[in-house]
Every structure is written in C-alpha cells, then in structure tokens.
Amino acid sequence: MLSVLPLTIKNTMRHLFRRPIVWIPGIYAGCIAALVIWLEFTGGMFLAGKIAMLGAIAFPFFLSVLNYHLETDEKNMKILVTVALRGYFPIVLPVIVLAGFVVVLALLLSVPLSIMGYGSDPFALTGLMLGIGIPALLFSLYIDNVAVCERTKIFGTLKRSMELVTVKIITAIWFFVVSGIIAVIVSVFGAFLWGAILGSRFTQFIEMNLTQQQEVFSQYTLTDWQALIGPEGIIVTALVFGFVTFLLVPSLFIFKYECYLDATDVVWDLSGERDEKGRHFRL
C-alpha cells in the first residue's frame, strides 16, 4: 500500500477538484450537521436527535450516487437519482445484518462474563464491545463500494468486503490512519476558523494561562456557552461545523473508494466475471 498510497491520495484530490458531483454527499452531510448543531444550541435537543437519525438513515442514497459516479463518471441527474433509489437497500441491508450479528454475538459472549462475575464491570464490557466492534468495522469497510460497483446480494456483499480487507489488510489499516490524519487537519483548520471569527468573545480569558482556561471551560454548561458566544456565535459554530463536515465526507469516502480499487486488484474470484476495466467482479 505504501507504494500506491501517494497515487491513491492524488486520485482522491483529482476527483475532488474535477468532479463537482462528488461534493453532493458533503453538501447534504454538512447541512444536516449545521442544522443539528444549531438546534442543540437553541434548545431543540429532541428535534436535533431526530434529524441526525433521519439524516443518517438517508445517507446511503448519497453513497450510492457517489460510488456509481466514481465508477462510471455518469453525470445525468435522472440516472443518478435512479441509482440512488436502486442502491439504497443493497447498502443498508448488509449493515443491518452485520449489526444484528454484532448484537447477538455480544449478548452470547456477555453470558460467560456474567458467570465469571464480570457482567457489571464497565472495563470488561467495554473490552468486549471493542473486541467485537473493531473487527466488524474493519471487515465491513467496503460494503457500500461492493454493493454498488459489484451488484452483489446481502451475504455476497459481506463476504466480498471481508475478502478484500483480508487479502489487503494493510490497505484497510492505512485507510483509517490517513483518514484520521485528514480528520485532524480539517478539524484543526475549522477550530482556527471558528476562533478567528469569534475571537472577540474570548478576550476576558486572554490573561489566563492554558491550565486555567481548561479548568474554566471544562465546567461550562451548554447555557454558559450560549451566553458566551451569543446568537451570532451559535450560527457561526453551526456553519463552521457544517463546513468541516462538508470537506471531510467526500474526501474520506472518495479515498475509501480508491483503497477499494487498490484491493480489487489483488482479490480474484474465479466464479465471477471481469468488467471492461478488468477490476470488478459481479458474482
């Protein structure tokens, strides 16, 4: 992966600069994120939770469009809408099946923990969930890519994603490492942007050292933050958070697609069929 990592990142940047359609998921996610943050600061916590949940449920529509556009360079909006509707359940159903499997496995493994007296131990339960959740997240990495690009069934999608990750595990690990670095860089940029716009609201804390500032802010409640930054500051906070989300979502999912292409160059399924690019197999 190290040898192709620069090319993968370069291709990701090329898609971002040359294909406007890839920004559609970012626009959607950014708007949802900004609205949720604004509602949380203005007292609409219940509504914010509902919108966040509905936004997550609808997001696979946009993932379907993104993957199909990256694969075919299709720009016809009518076709892309059709693809979004057609690709929704092939993405969602494997995720639901995997989530159900994780829950059942967690329940089964919690029984011996309870017998050994660790049933109420938060560290044991946390370790159990991490031990199940991390592999599940890793091996399901390419679910959306496989579902859209290879048109597989539910269990075929799960199997294929696991195969791709297993054969090129380094690619999957590098995806998470690079994604973490990108997320940190963009988040820091957003924090500086937020601080530059709202810097005048924090002049009263300038004379404090860093430790004192941390102590003060750690005790702040949501009401305290509302009073400190004011209505305009709440809007700025929501917009900056939405902007960061707008940048991150397409960047990370396009990079994941490029990692998927790298993985498919290794996995050969003799029962499948090669497409015209010689990369994808339809089971």
* Confidence band of 281 (pLDDT split at 50, 70, 90): very low
CA quadruple 135, 23, 71, 93: dihedral, nearest 10:
40
Mean pLDDT of 139-145: 95
Does the pLDDT of residue 269 top 90, yes or no? no
Per-residue model confidence (pLDDT) at position 5: 82
Does the pLDDT of residue 264 top 70, yes or no? yes
Q: Could you write out the three-class secondary structure of 139-204?
A: HCCCHHHHHHHCCCCHHHHHHHHHHHHHHCHHHHHHHHHHHHHHHHHHHHHHHHHHHHHHHHHHHH
Per-residue model confidence (pLDDT) at position 80: 93
Does the pLDDT of residue 273 top 60, yes or no? no
* Confidence band of 1 (pLDDT split at 50, 70, 90): low
Between 110 and 90, name the one with better pLDDT.
Answer: 90
* Confidence band of 161 (pLDDT split at 50, 70, 90): very high
Write out the two tokens for 35. 């609205």
274 φ/ψ angles, rounded to the nearest 5 degrees? -80, 145
64: closest CA among 157, 3, 148?
Answer: 148
Does the pLDDT of residue 229 top 90, yes or no? no
Per-residue model confidence (pLDDT) at position 76: 92
